[in-house]
Amino acid sequence: MSTETAQDRALLHLARELRTRGYHFITPTPLTHQRVNQRPENALAVDLPGVFGWSRPFQHELLPPLLFSLMDQADLLEPCQTRWRSRVRLSSLDGQLFVHSAFPTDTPDAVFFGPDTYRFASAIRAHLDERSGEVRRVVDIGCGSGAGAILAALARPQAEVLAVDINPQALRLTRINAALAGADNLRAQHSDLLSAVDGEFDLILANPPYLVDPGERAYRHGGGPLGAGLSLAILDAALGRLAPGGTLLLYTGVAMLDNQDPFLAEARQRLDGSACSWTYREVDPDVFGEELLGGAYTRCDRIAAVVLEVTRPVS
């Protein structure tokens, strides 16, 4: 961690302590999180997952003194009447822990981690398992918690891996998560898409926000009529930056309208005239169904999770 602070060191120490103690938590959707926490028996945390996973209020005495002290040093203690809440969550993925924002993720600089992250990770694993060519340079656009970049860095330790985002809090947590995972070949830096990084890449990863968010929170708002604006911007930026044989792996969500896929139609216009080969598949046909109740999605059939892979020819 090149720009670490005392708070960063305390947070990293806390995460390592939780890992040593066998901490494990799988993050659900926000709606599931809310429903589970609303059960009367879940009003207070009674264990470490309750504190650091479910974001429940807790009594000071619940935590071992070392953990409470590290939370204090890392400025993670949020007063909650006579109790406390953690300002971060920690989630498990592929044997690693990732620090991200506490629930609910209301702040503009919130750092997302959830079911989309697990599906994104699965797509990365599948791509790297099937890939035969060498991977020298990787970039994760809109890295968030850094999960995608870190998994790639661990799988290809000889590669140079960049994690870029416009959110300083995302970059901070990516650096901490990379140090926690031992991903020494990863570098996090500020960049709007690929504007601040040079050269071509063998693998470009992206799991961008794809919803229309009235508050336009960076981790959630995709822009455009149905949230596809950022996903299309990433596709446009990546097409000119793929090395020969390089691949863009884009995991995103698509609002289906009148049984049609508007994102696929836009992507096809860009790709059919190019020399690139590409594949497109739905990995989950129905996510965030609660969004269909109002706002931009009242006429949509469903929101699907999709993976677009675009590969530049070797020559």
- DSSP helix/strand/coil, 254: strand
Helix (H) or strand (E) segment spanning residue 187:
strand 186-190
Nearest to 292 by CA among 6, 39, 31, 22: 31
pLDDT string in tens for the chain (315-residue length) = 455 899 999 999 999 999 999 999 999 999 999 999 999 999 999 999 999 999 999 999 999 999 999 999 999 999 999 999 999 999 999 999 999 999 999 899 999 999 999 999 999 999 999 998 899 999 999 999 999 999 999 999 999 999 999 999 999 999 999 999 999 999 999 999 999 999 999 999 999 999 887 777 777 778 887 999 999 999 999 999 999 999 999 999 999 999 999 999 999 999 998 999 999 999 999 999 999 998 899 999 999 999 999 999 997
pLDDT of residue 96: 98
The CA-to-CA distance between both ends of the chain, in Å, stands at: 38
What are the phi and psi torsion angles at 52 (to 5°)? -100, -5
Distance separating alpha carbons of residues 192 and 194, to the nearest angstrom? 6
Could you tell me how far CA 276 lies from the centroid of its own chain? Answer: 27
Nearest to 58 by CA among 90, 83, 25, 23: 83
Chain position carrying tokens 């791509």: 127
Q: In what order do the strands lie in the sheet with 186-190?
A: 186-190, 160-165, 137-141, 201-206, 242-257, 300-311, 277-284
Q: pTM for the full model? A: 0.96
- DSSP helix/strand/coil, 217: coil
CATH superfamily for domain 115-311: Vaccinia Virus protein VP39 (3.40.50.150)
pLDDT of residue 315: 79
Domain map of the chain by residue range?
6-101, 115-311
Cα–Cα separations (whole angstroms), residue 261 to 222, 257, 293 = 16, 7, 19
Nearest to 13 by CA among 57, 76, 55, 60: 76
pLDDT of residue 176: 98
Distance separating alpha carbons of residues 302 and 309, to the nearest angstrom? 22
